[in-house]
Structure 1
């Protein structure tokens, strides 16, 4: 297949293969970008009814627009009748590879799992269940952003799933929920279970259910309890142990109802969430040689710069207004221009800045999940102060922040504006990093301002 052109995609290399198909790296000759092409096994689209069902489900999955979900661009069929999915291509490593490198710290584990939960929550709100959440289906980019893969193979909520030979590998079965193993009707709780298995494995370095044979593995999932997490890792906080135990409750009615509830408890727990858009990346020595620390952490540095900038803006605000009005602040989705790879900052900054501002100098940030939920599924950066004013007022906020990130050539321009909810612009601030290598000095300048 290497070197072959399918439609307007030229295949340049193989990325991986498994029971659900072969994935190739390809170049989109029309839009001049790299993509991933996944060719599905013939049995998945063996007849017209099966193919129609697959296309319908892939169409539903492609509607998911979230920073932690791999984007699906297209579904097509090659000249020889092979069905394929066109997905975004991401640099990075699978979560499975990270697990293979060794046990993760509680902070690193929570920070990656909360991102996965956020992505799954967006799907659950649309009634879409992934049903195959496992470390091999999660990519972690060099910036530490988790991306959920294979949503094109997801099932709509309420679908009854049969365990087929295609599913029945130990690697996949280890993350199956009890109801999935029985072939019962599934819902969003199935993804919660799988994510609980992943969190357990990240924290302990071991899967909660393991066996040499599939039937023994499924028996354990259905009838046995995993070794207590606190016995394997006594240093894990009690609240995190309780979250894992609830996620791994065999009765789906006693589990978290969806990933949004799971994520909310993780954020309310004792482990600090580094950010909504990135986690610390553990790299091998060979990886460190090939990736500049400044470049690899470029997006994180931009985020830190914006945090410093927003604190400066808030501190410069009009102190004459009442504390009640000033104490609640709403961060609007940032506009991002000039670099599609920075698009995740549109919603990422809402979460990051809201939580950073919450509790600082008696400020209280509007809950980011509530704010983004109010905007619905088609969230985009807000430019209009009038629109932001209406949204902020709905949360009884006395102030709101509009912000932007603009990539111009190699330079990155950062802007933030503080408004009262009566529409009065209090102040504006701006800083520019000439290129990624100067981002650290840009942070130093902002620190002096603060």
Structure 2
């Protein structure tokens, strides 16, 4: 593990919270399994790494995310419990006991049934619709930022969320960000529709529609989930400060049809393909996408 040693079990980074174990490390955060004395339950703590606490913007970004999640209430968004500002910024989140989609797709090599893909899509649409109603775009939708337990999905990580409008180039994670995110410029709800589409494509096919350098599915695309552990960092390497000459293959061509990678019901494949159209204005709205996905489900499973 690079950088300073994480806090040991028993440490108390904030009053009422005791570290049980270190979960994962990103480029600027440490994430811990912890015990909340007030709630008498386990929780997740996010802290800025000790070697980066001098960068005030990182603490501000983390606290902003924590305040949003504490305020928001939606069945498909991770829940925020608390925000601590002193002596160091700490964000407290609920513990999720499921698996990230990244784990399910790439480590367990599961190919979900068509109905499971469609149901997942309706749940992602529900979470995104809620965020858009609060004036925010997520801008980092990907399998690593979705935890699923018994068919119930929860979206993680609002660290890159922002209102619609101008944004720096390359905001988001390589391989998952919409073409307009990679290039820079005004962002709309269509960027999150792309994120839903690329996530569903990977879940359905076991690989992203765009590969980097021909090295395989999801190569260098990022799989940090911020809660249950991961191996890449979507935070400080994908926030508009990257290499302008490496914005991703999605800026240079169109996504292959989903049917070229896996046989699925035509209506479901068409709904996912529509999300990955290069021009934002030609993609479906979140409501249109949710309706198209729900229509492919058996009546008993429609939300």
TM-score by length of 2: 0.77
Deviations 1:105-130 (A, max 9, x none): 21221222221221111111111111
Residue 289 of structure 2, aligned match among 257, 262, 266: 262
Task: Give the equivalent residue in structure 2 for 1:95.
Answer: 101
> Given the alignment of the two structures, is residue 189 of structure 1 paired with residue 218 of structure 2, yes or no?
no
Deviations 1:226-284 (A, max 9, x none): 22222222x31221122112100111111123x3332121112x3337647xxxxxxxx
Cα separation, partners in 2 of 1:89 and 1:38, compared to 1, 3 Å: same
> Given the alignment of the two structures, is residue 272 of structure 1 paired with residue 268 of structure 2, yes or no?
no
Deviations 1:417-447 (A, max 9, x none): xxxxxxxxxxxxxxxxxxxxxxxxxxxxxxx
Residue 77 of structure 2, aligned match among 63, 69, 80: 69
> Given the alignment of the two structures, is residue 163 of structure 1 paired with residue 192 of structure 2, yes or no?
no
Deviation at 1:86, TM superposition (A): 0.9
Deviation at 1:3, TM superposition (A): 1.8
User: Is the CA contact (8 Å cut-off) linking 1:93 and 1:139 kept in structure 2?
Assistant: yes
Q: What 5-or-longer segments of structure 2 have no aligned partner?
A: 1-6, 214-218, 221-242
Supply the distance in 1 between the matched residues of 2:28 and 2:287 (Cα, whole angstroms).
Answer: 27
Residue 225 of structure 1, aligned match among 249, 254, 261: 254
Q: What 5-or-longer segments of structure 1 have no aligned partner?
A: 277-350, 352-450
Cα separation, partners in 2 of 1:176 and 1:43, compared to 1, 3 Å: farther
Cα separation, partners in 2 of 1:273 and 1:68, compared to 1, 3 Å: farther
User: Is the CA contact (8 Å cut-off) linking 2:48 and 2:59 kept in structure 1?
Assistant: no
Instruction: Flag the structure with higher helix content.
Output: 1
Deviation at 1:207, TM superposition (A): 0.7
Q: RCO (CA 8 Å, sep 6+): is it higher in 1 or 2? A: 2
Deviation at 1:11, TM superposition (A): 1.0
Residue 119 of structure 1, aligned match among 122, 127, 133: 127
Cα separation, partners in 2 of 1:78 and 1:159, compared to 1, 3 Å: farther
Supply the distance in 2 between the matched residues of 1:68 and 1:6 (Cα, whole angstroms).
Answer: 28
Which structure has the larger Rg over C-alpha atoms?
1
Cα separation, partners in 2 of 1:35 and 1:245, compared to 1, 3 Å: same
Deviation at 1:52, TM superposition (A): 5.0
Deviation at 1:16, TM superposition (A): 2.4
Q: Secondary structure at the match of 1:66?
A: coil
* Aligned residues between the structures: 264
